[in-house]
Structure 1
Amino acid sequence: MSLNQTLNEKVVPAVMKFVNLKGVQALKDGMLFTLPLNIVGSIFLLIACFPVKAFTDGMAGAFGPGWNDPLFKLQHSTMGIMAVVAVIGMTYVYCKNEGLEPFSPAVIALSVFLTVTNDFVMFKATPDATPIQVGGVIPQDWTGGSGMITAIIVSLVVSFVYCAMVKKNITIKMPEGVPQGVVNAFSALIPATVIFIGATVVYAVCKFGFNTSFVEIIYKVVQTPLQAASDSLPGAILIAFAVPFLWFFGIHGGMTVSGMVGALLTANTAANAKLQEAGTLDLAHGAHIVTQQFYDNFINLAGSGQTLGFTILLLVLAKSAQYKQLGRLALPANLFNINEPVLFGTPVVMNPIMGVPFILTPVVNAILLYLAIATGILAPMGGALPPWTVPAVFSGLIIGGPSYAIAQLVFLLIGMAIYFPFFKKVDAMSYADELAAQKHENSAQA
């Protein structure tokens, strides 16, 4: 059996089976509800911590030293509640995909998340003061990036239990003619009671047995190691490899990988945003290297496989009329990080020649970017999250100023160099086919 057959018959079905799991679908689609919060919140954070000292000094002089407090407030109210929104969104999507009314279980999941989280914070009036417990609050430390894995666990458990009970008719039945809203509310009562009892038991065990909360245990035991793995060089390489590898077989690599690692990368970004707000965004203070921007704006620079350099080669150097026209058609979309036209028009998908640079380019550039940040050539990325459609270089300016804009330009040139010999090969083959077709047509007319 050839390698191609092995991949098609063994690897692709296994990958598709995983991608189509209910939990993975809920994670992938449910996390999208946090996207507006991340983007808008990051814009306000960027303004509050603008990397031009003259601007921040001018604002402080005009409006006082606390001029950016309202901006931080908005950032806390968006990026700071990502776990809360995620637990609602993932439960909603899971139950909706199961054909059930999704809002009730989504609200139940939110209540469970708050139940397994402490309702107090430790407060110090001064840095040297003894901490005192302040109750009746929702700790924002756990409603943002630090609570993401707990949000995933809660949403999946609540969704599974709720759907199983409703499908087995373990609900309160209402007579015909009762409004649907009332039916939905009463249908949720028994599943909600069972789920809330379970959540209360978990809270009690963590509190009295371990003197902590469930979300803190998950953060220390599960999330911290996973974030560390995603933030390593092997983690960056694996993510950069997986996106184009899946695309090569026609599976949407960007959406699939984002669904699997998006929560971790979002948590890394949220942690960096806190350091940025505190003015300590550096590796010495625990800043993360592999963040959501690392994924969106570098691994997927100009689209999965970093195809913009290839598209420019098609437009400028192609001899084949087919590829030159493809370059004209694909470039406008590719500039805004949409590269499906070139993926399927070349095609790159299932093309063993183009598969090599398509997979190699993001891996090489991910390694270079990781090393550039690890060695201090580039500063860690903060909380600024430009929309994924912002063109390269411009998104780099938003993320980290001129240094990141230049880095994106350099990576585009590296990608163009990697693609060049493979472009020459497929262009020569297409050009030869066109000449042969033209010769055959001329012979037929003669």
Structure 2
Amino acid sequence: MTMENILQAADRLFQNRYIISIKKAFIITLPIIILGSIASLINNMPIDIVQTGLSTPAGQVIRVVNGAIWLGSTAIMAILIAWTLGYYLGNTYKLNGTLSALTSVSAYLTICVRTSDGGISLSQLGSSGLFGAILIAIMATELYHAFSNLKINISEDTAEEVRQMFAALFPVMLSVFCIAFTNGIILTTSGKGIDEWIYTALSLLFSAADGGGLSGTLLLVFGIHIFWFFGIHGGNVMDSIMVSVFGENLIHNTSQYALNHDAFDKQLDIISKGFLDTFVFMGGAGTSLCIIIAVLIIARSRYMRSIAKMGGVFALFNMNEIVLFGFPIILNPILLIPFLLTPLTITLVSWSAMSLGLVARVVTEVHWAMPPLISGYLATGGHLSGSVLQVINIAAGILIYLPFIRLMDRRAVQKEAQKDDNTALLKNTLNTVIEKINNSTGEVNGEITDFSIVLESVVRDLNMLSAQMQQQMQLMHTCDEYTRIIDTSVGNTDNSIKIVLQNMEKTNGLSMEGAQSMHQMMQKMEETFLSTQKNNELASQLNLRCEQIEGMLKSIEDMFLQTATLSHNASIEVTHAGVHGKEFSVVAANIKDLSEATAKVVSDIEGLLQGMKADTSDMIERSEVSLRQVETGLQKVIGANQLFDEIVQNIHNIQVQCHAVLKHSGEVIGKLQQINEQIRTTSHFFAETASHTSKVAEQVRNRSDESKEMVHKLRKLNMETSLMTVNALENLES
């Protein structure tokens, strides 16, 4: 399997969302890292004239400013990586990147070691906290993604920022809480938080170093660089181990050298922290100075050469953040092998050279920022062998890096060539664009002017719409009041109907009693009518008998007349008879008296009969009048009885209707309440719409003003675009 195949397999292994997001996080923070490196370089530059200048009043100001810059950049690198890593990893899950970044930073700060005054240890926020920041940022983002479905949905009319805030409320809170809660449990039960346990575990992995021997030293060097490859400050992680393993070695060498001034004394210790700083970490971790020289020797990539030139100055003073994060070396599978192999090889070469007595051993401490060659000479007590060994180590490192730099450069050149092709295409495109811009600028100006006029019209329409919406809103408020009044009226009507029903029930009872009384009265009147009819018939019979008696009296009267005539004739005859007629005269006188008495009785009877007849006629007339009145009253009673029946029926119908009204009244009240609620909702909607319309009108008005300015800017931009395009073409040609 060729190297290219191995690297392709490594590329596929490293092409996952976590590695890609970590790379992006380190690359995007490079400007801040460079700024912090410059500030730190100036303050720590081991040149007497520089340090003397920094001791002056003006230099003190520069030193304070650089210190503040370092605090705002390199010293908080862990927070910067937590933020950027959370942002890019959140984007891979299509989450809100800003909220994911905030969650990562907040979660990381919850696990940081606290100082005695309750603050956060600054060492946890810098490069030594990178591994914890990376781990917590990944965990926080994964939790945020897991809880992302637990969101609060609100109206779409709400501002987008507010909707996003409510949607992320529970996911963010639960993610930070879970990490803080876990850290609290671990801290309470073990006395150490997550961050402390991370570095305790990492330190234990390499705690087997054997008292400064070669194998232990190689293990420490490997650990430092494997940590750096994954973005962890290996020097800070392994510093406590290095101190415990060979912290006293340099002190021993210095004291021995002071006695005999012999740096080649085999009783001196070979391995020390100064040994690693001087002969292994030249240019920083991975012997970064070798990378820069190898790039400048064979690389054709403009990007790689620019990074090498920029980082070369810092690498001379053993600051390699630009190299580590610029190429980058961190999480770069192409440079993994040389990044680990070079410091291990140089450590072995340096140890061998000193063991064989070819190179003087480190007998004095040199500032970590001292440039190579000078540092080798000073560290070995002024022996050129130290500088020669540094040259050999640098050459060996360059040879190790060259094939990998060539492979990396080949890929970079291909990408740049593709960019060059794109640049040529862009050049042709720019020429075409220039021509089209020149041709279309006038049209665009006219269209923008027309658009400005349209916008002004839209503003007027929106203002009118806003006023109409406000009027509608007032009408909706009025309808709301009317609905409340109707609701109250329906309630009052409901009570009134109930009272009417109660009165109707009483009236119905009274009507039924009245109908029964009228029925009884009608029966009595019918009986009276029959009695009156019988009396009338009896009166008619009596009148008829009176007429018969009157006829008989006429016969008696006729008999009276005849008797009177007979008595008169008898008187006359008595006169003629003389003595014989005396007795007959008496008879005639008796007949006369009887006749007169009869006449008187007849006269009296006629008078009585006339009175009886008159009374009977009057009684008959009155009976007929009574009969007519009784008949009329009977008809009225029948009509009244029918009317009462109709009243009872109508009352029954009214009761049925009232019950139906009561039944539907509750439904109407419910509907009115729903209508009232809808009116309130609609009123609120109109209010919000009116407000939103006003805002839109204001925005459109602003856009209208902006479009007017755009016309002038576009005319100016046309000239500037032509000039810039010409300059761009000249630059592309050069």
Higher relative contact order (CA 8 A, sep 6+): 1
Are the structure 2 counterparts of residues 138 and 338 from structure 1 closer, same or farther at C-alpha, using a change threshold of 3 Å?
A: closer
Which residue does the alignment assign to 1:121?
115
Contact 1:148 1:263 in 2 (8 A): yes
Structural mapping, 1:322-341, within 5 Å? 330=300, 335-336=305-306
In 2, the alpha carbon distance for the partners of 1:111 and 1:235 equals 33
In 1, the alpha carbon distance for the partners of 2:184 and 2:398 equals 58
Which residue does the alignment assign to 2:72?
77
Are the structure 2 counterparts of residues 49 and 94 from structure 1 closer, same or farther at C-alpha, using a change threshold of 3 Å?
A: same
In 2, the alpha carbon distance for the partners of 1:227 and 1:45 equals 31
Which residue does the alignment assign to 1:196?
176
Q: Does 1:15 align with 2:6?
A: no
Structural mapping, 1:203-352, within 5 Å? 203-222=183-202, 225=205, 233=218, 260-265=229-234, 284=273, 293-295=284-286, 297-298=288-289, 300-302=291-293, 306=294, 308-310=296-298, 330=300, 335-336=305-306
In 2, the alpha carbon distance for the partners of 1:331 and 1:155 equals 34
| Superposed displacement of residue 98, structure 1 | 2.1
Are the structure 2 counterparts of residues 379 and 401 from structure 1 closer, same or farther at C-alpha, using a change threshold of 3 Å?
A: farther
Contact 2:223 2:234 in 1 (8 A): no
Which residue does the alignment assign to 2:93?
98
Are the structure 2 counterparts of residues 139 and 369 from structure 1 closer, same or farther at C-alpha, using a change threshold of 3 Å?
A: same
In 1, the alpha carbon distance for the partners of 2:18 and 2:394 equals 36
In 2, the alpha carbon distance for the partners of 1:73 and 1:225 equals 35
Which residue does the alignment assign to 2:153?
173
In 2, the alpha carbon distance for the partners of 1:286 and 1:73 equals 32
Which residue does the alignment assign to 2:513?
none
**Aligned-residue identity in percent:** 18
Query: What amino acid maps onto 1:102 in structure 2?
Result: G
Equivalent residue of 2:158, what SS? coil
Equivalent residue of 2:115, what SS? strand
Equivalent residue of 1:182, what SS? helix
Contact 2:130 2:232 in 1 (8 A): yes
| Superposed displacement of residue 301, structure 1 | 2.9
Contact 2:282 2:289 in 1 (8 A): no
Which residue does the alignment assign to 1:147?
129
Contact 1:33 1:86 in 2 (8 A): no
Structural mapping, 1:405-424, within 5 Å? none
Are the structure 2 counterparts of residues 173 and 69 from structure 1 closer, same or farther at C-alpha, using a change threshold of 3 Å?
A: same
Contact 1:80 1:143 in 2 (8 A): yes
Contact 1:299 1:366 in 2 (8 A): no
| Superposed displacement of residue 360, structure 1 | 7.5
Contact 2:100 2:144 in 1 (8 A): yes
Contact 2:202 2:237 in 1 (8 A): no
In 2, the alpha carbon distance for the partners of 1:152 and 1:224 equals 20
Contact 1:105 1:188 in 2 (8 A): no
Q: Deviations over 1:388-407 (max 9, x none)?
A: xxxxxxxx95xx68559x88
Contact 1:308 1:412 in 2 (8 A): no
| Superposed displacement of residue 377, structure 1 | 9.6
| Superposed displacement of residue 100, structure 1 | 1.9
User: Rg larger in 1 or in 2?
Assistant: 2
Are the structure 2 counterparts of residues 17 and 161 from structure 1 closer, same or farther at C-alpha, using a change threshold of 3 Å?
A: farther
Are the structure 2 counterparts of residues 53 and 308 from structure 1 closer, same or farther at C-alpha, using a change threshold of 3 Å?
A: closer
| Superposed displacement of residue 295, structure 1 | 3.5
In 2, the alpha carbon distance for the partners of 1:403 and 1:45 equals 19
In 1, the alpha carbon distance for the partners of 2:236 and 2:346 equals 23
Are the structure 2 counterparts of residues 31 and 177 from structure 1 closer, same or farther at C-alpha, using a change threshold of 3 Å?
A: same
Aligned residues: 321
Which has a greater percent of helix? Answer: 2
Equivalent residue of 1:151, what SS? helix
Q: Deviations over 1:121-156 (max 9, x none)?
A: 23xxxxxxxxxxx12x23212111222121111111
| Superposed displacement of residue 298, structure 1 | 3.5
Contact 2:287 2:342 in 1 (8 A): no
User: Which of the numbers 79, 83, 86 marks the counterpart of 1:88?
Assistant: 83
Contact 1:145 1:270 in 2 (8 A): no
Equivalent residue of 2:136, what SS? helix
Query: What amino acid maps onto 2:184 in structure 1?
Result: A
Q: Does 1:52 align with 2:47?
A: yes
Q: Deviations over 1:351-392 (max 9, x none)?
A: xxxxxxx9789945762278659964998885x7xxxxxxxx
Contact 1:37 1:78 in 2 (8 A): yes
Contact 1:266 1:291 in 2 (8 A): no
| Superposed displacement of residue 85, structure 1 | 0.8
In 2, the alpha carbon distance for the partners of 1:74 and 1:97 equals 32
Query: What amino acid maps onto 2:153 in structure 1?
Result: K
Equivalent residue of 1:121, what SS? coil
| Superposed displacement of residue 205, structure 1 | 1.3
| Superposed displacement of residue 93, structure 1 | 0.9
Equivalent residue of 1:51, what SS? coil
User: Which of the numbers 63, 67, 73 marks the counterpart of 1:68?
Assistant: 63
Equivalent residue of 2:147, what SS? helix
User: Which of the numbers 140, 143, 148 marks the counterpart of 1:158?
Assistant: 140
Equivalent residue of 1:90, what SS? helix
In structure 2, the gaps of 5 or more residues are 210-215, 241-249, 252-271, 310-335, 355-360, 377-386, 403-734
Equivalent residue of 1:68, what SS? helix
Which residue does the alignment assign to 1:323?
none
Which residue does the alignment assign to 1:355?
none
Q: Deviations over 1:253-304 (max 9, x none)?
A: xxxx97x523335856999xxxxxxxxx9955998765983348335334xx
Are the structure 2 counterparts of residues 156 and 228 from structure 1 closer, same or farther at C-alpha, using a change threshold of 3 Å?
A: farther
Query: What amino acid maps onto 1:262 in structure 2?
Result: G
| Superposed displacement of residue 84, structure 1 | 0.8
Are the structure 2 counterparts of residues 66 and 16 from structure 1 closer, same or farther at C-alpha, using a change threshold of 3 Å?
A: closer
In 2, the alpha carbon distance for the partners of 1:410 and 1:104 equals 51
In 2, the alpha carbon distance for the partners of 1:360 and 1:86 equals 25
Contact 1:112 1:196 in 2 (8 A): yes
| Superposed displacement of residue 47, structure 1 | 1.4
Query: What amino acid maps onto 2:88 in structure 1?
Result: V
Which residue does the alignment assign to 1:32?
27
Contact 2:286 2:340 in 1 (8 A): no
In 2, the alpha carbon distance for the partners of 1:61 and 1:110 equals 39
Contact 1:104 1:184 in 2 (8 A): no
